[in-house]
Amino acid sequence: MNNNILPASAVPFPNAYTVDVTPELAEAWLETGKTNRLVSERRIDNFAAQMEAGQWCLNHNGIAFSENGTLLDGLHRLLAVIRSGKTVPMIVVVNEPHENAAAIDSRG
């Protein structure tokens, strides 16, 4: 990794994991909490098509859960895993402060 782009004050984030997300795991995670985000079928179809074609890559866009296990980010990605029937790697962040939910959900 090129650490030259990071300032000396940068610290690792301890609550992030790489997880192979299966359709079964995605379903279980979606059942753990309600979401108030509107679902975009177009976005799900786009993600699912990438997954089905083997083009889904591990990147900084993943899944985030609050301290109490509520899904904060990743609804469309989880629905796409289910729709595609594929297992894909994702970054999963846990123990996000629940008050961050509004800020996370406001992003496209």
Residues 57-88 pLDDT 10s: 999 999 999 998 889 899 999 999 999 999 99
pTM score: 0.84
Structure confidence at residue 101 (pLDDT): 59
Domain residue ranges in the chain: 14-105
- Tens-place pLDDT, residues 89-108: 999 999 988 766 555 554 43
Q: How much of the chain exceeds pLDDT 90, in percent? A: 64
Q: Domain 14-105 is of which CATH architecture?
A: Alpha-Beta Complex (3.90)
Say how far apart CA 91 and CA 59 lie, in whole Å.
7
Say how far apart CA 37 and CA 2 lie, in whole Å.
36
Structure confidence at residue 106 (pLDDT): 43
Burial of 11: CB neighbours in 10 Å, binned 0-12, 13-18, 19+: exposed
